[in-house]
């Protein structure tokens, strides 16, 4: 459960593999200005300790679907930042 | 049904699951853990996944292959710790004719590599551990920002790329 | 080793036989007996062979695939009576990378169909029996004498046809 | 064991599938003029009862290798006449 003030929103971000390792956790809660976009979340994430490992434009998903960085995000969305894929 | 599996994969089970009296051609692919990577000796491998999205993406890929080639398709991907030689991914595609079976099978493995959120960490003989980055071929072209990759479905005009 | 088998084929055994720590990609093909052919309902099938030549030809095909794609390749073909859904042919090709594995596997099935002296007789639901002629695509081009087909190895210039 | 006179040679021909059915056996011994070619063997084979099913230029093998119709053949060679292949 997250609450949003009039001008900010708290976004929960899932991290994986190398990114989770660098940022020290596989999920972080970030408070960003509202309305928020993926880009504003990524920008804040990159300023966290260890966040410099993230590229400017990482692969992201919102609610299990790949999303562009200008996508709006809201509290309750499932935001995921994905390192380069290596399945198969 | 789950596409991600914590237990060893069983290709025979997949083949049986797609076989039918009207589909006389079954093409399969199995990827196994290699003992080396970029000159380093690998002793074991660990696959992790963004599970809910990986399941959804596998389901989409299988549905695309089924409808494009009128094939039945089965796919499984291992997660967890794998020893050398163990299967990391297994695919079976059955169709009335072999061209479609091969094309559907090849499509699925290429799309799995391109779109499914799975990562692997290699354990090397020298005691070090490393996250495996995709090969050069799968990185964005030079000049494009690193990590600015797309994992959307291929557009329909590129379907011919999968003809086998 | 014999390429022709009177007992049910076992794809898993073939996959194991070609797998190795340095070959991380295995492509396979299984052909199964379909329940219909040109509108007739098939209940069972009988494969016969010119065995010594079939063995030699299978051996040549496998050797060609191995050397062209640096792959290990296993091949088995059933003979005798097969029920609907049983495997008539099974192929596994293992290579360090999947492109080579798919290409080698596809090459082997195409060449088996083109060059190995095997014939099949279908038993139909109406009690009749018929020798199966190859499909139109495998008959000699119009204008060429019927039966004047070649079963020699493909020449090296056509190798690209097998790229997958 | 076959014997050849000065001017003829006896050739053993293997038949398969539809051809064996039509000619009533899966092996026949044919006596042809010497020196013989595959073509002369096929010509005689086509004149046998049931032999009219054979095309003028059927697929043939000599000693397990595909052979052209102008190939010479001798007593002791393994000659095979092959209906259209249907493996796979």
Give per-residue pLDDT as tens, C59-95: 999 999 999 999 999 999 999 999 999 999 999 999 9
Alpha-carbon distances, residue B156 vs A75, B93, B97 (angstroms): 35, 20, 22
Residue B127: which region, alpha, beta or left (left: phi > 0; alpha: psi -120 to 50)? left
Question: In percent, how much of chain B has pLDDT > 90?
Answer: 77
Give per-residue pLDDT as tens, B95-114: 999 999 999 999 999 999 99
B99 CB within 8 Å of a chain A CB:
no
Mean pLDDT, residues D65-76: 95
CB contacts < 8 A (B, C): 97
Residue B112, CA atoms < 13 Å, CB-side half-sphere = 29
CB B63 within 8 A of CB C63: no
Give per-residue pLDDT as tens, A14-24: 999 999 999 99
Asked if the Cβ–Cβ distance from B151 to A88 is below 8 Å, we say no
The overall average pLDDT reported for chain D is 93
B163 CB within 8 Å of a chain A CB:
no
Question: In percent, how much of chain B has pLDDT > 70?
Answer: 81
CB A17 within 8 A of CB B119: yes
Q: Which strands sit side by side in the sheet containing B87-95, from one edge to the other?
A: B4-5, B72-78, B87-95, B25-32, C25-32, C87-95, C72-78, C4-5
Pull the structure tokens for residue C156.
């090296």
B160 CB within 8 Å of a chain C CB:
no
* pLDDT of amino acid C38: 86
Neighbours of chain B (3+ CB pairs under 8 A): A, C
In this structure, how many other beta carbons lie within 10 angstroms of the beta carbon of residue C33? Answer: 22
* pLDDT of amino acid A6: 65
Distance from B19 to chain A by nearest Cα, in Å?
23
* Count of residues in chain B: 164
- Partners of D83 on chain C (C-beta within 8 Å) are 119, 131
Asked if the Cβ–Cβ distance from A57 to B112 is below 8 Å, we say no
Range 55-94 of B in CB contact (< 8 A) with C:
84-85
Asked if the Cβ–Cβ distance from C118 to D85 is below 8 Å, we say yes
Give per-residue pLDDT as tens, B82-97: 999 999 999 999 999 9
Asked if the Cβ–Cβ distance from B102 to C12 is below 8 Å, we say no
Chain A residues interacting with chain B (CB cutoff of 8 angstroms): 14, 16-18, 21, 54-59, 61, 64-66, 78, 80, 82-88
Question: In percent, how much of chain D has pLDDT > 90?
Answer: 92
Distance from B53 to chain A by nearest Cα, in Å?
5
Mean pLDDT, residues B3-11: 96
* pLDDT of amino acid C134: 76
C77 CB within 8 Å of a chain D CB:
yes
C29 CB within 8 Å of a chain B CB:
yes
* pLDDT of amino acid C162: 37
Give per-residue pLDDT as tens, C108-129: 999 999 999 999 999 999 999 9
Predicted TM-score (pTM) of the model is: 0.86
Distance from C48 to chain B by nearest Cα, in Å?
19
Q: Show Cβ contacts of residue D40 under 8 Å, excluding neighbours closer than 6 positions.
A: D32, D33
Task: Name the DSSP letter for residue B20.
Answer: B
């Amino acid at each position: 459960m997250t609450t949003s003030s009039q001008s900010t929103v708290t976004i929960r971000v899932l991290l994986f593999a190398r990114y989770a390792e660098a940022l020290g956790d596989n999920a972080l809660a970030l408070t960003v200005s509202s309305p928020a976009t993926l880009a504003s979340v990524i920008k804040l994430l990159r300023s966290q300790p260890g966040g410099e490992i993230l590229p400017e434009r990482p692969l992201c998903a919102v609610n299990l679907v790949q999303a562009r960085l200008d996508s709006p995000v809201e509290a309750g969305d499932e935001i995921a930042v994905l390192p380069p894929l290596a399945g198969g | 049904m789950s596409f991600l599996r914590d237990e060893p994969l069983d290709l025979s089970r997949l083949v049986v699951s797609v076989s039918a009296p009207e589909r006389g051609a079954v093409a399969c692919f199995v990827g196994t853990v290699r003992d080396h990577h970029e000159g380093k000796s690998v002793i074991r491998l660990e696959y992790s996944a963004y599970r809910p999205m990986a399941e959804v993406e596998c389901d989409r890929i299988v549905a695309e292959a089924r409808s494009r080639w009128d094939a039945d398709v089965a796919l499984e991907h291992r997660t967890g710790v794998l020893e050398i030689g163990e299967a990391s991914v297994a695919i079976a595609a059955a169709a009335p004719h072999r061209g479609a079976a091969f094309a559907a099978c090849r499509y699925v493995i290429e799309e799995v590599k391109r779109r499914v959120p799975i990562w692997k960490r290699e354990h090397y003989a020298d005691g070090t551990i490393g996250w495996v980055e995709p090969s050069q071929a799968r990185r964005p072209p030079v000049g494009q920002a690193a990590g600015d990759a797309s994992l959307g479905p291929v557009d329909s005009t590129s379907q011919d790329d999968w003809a086998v």
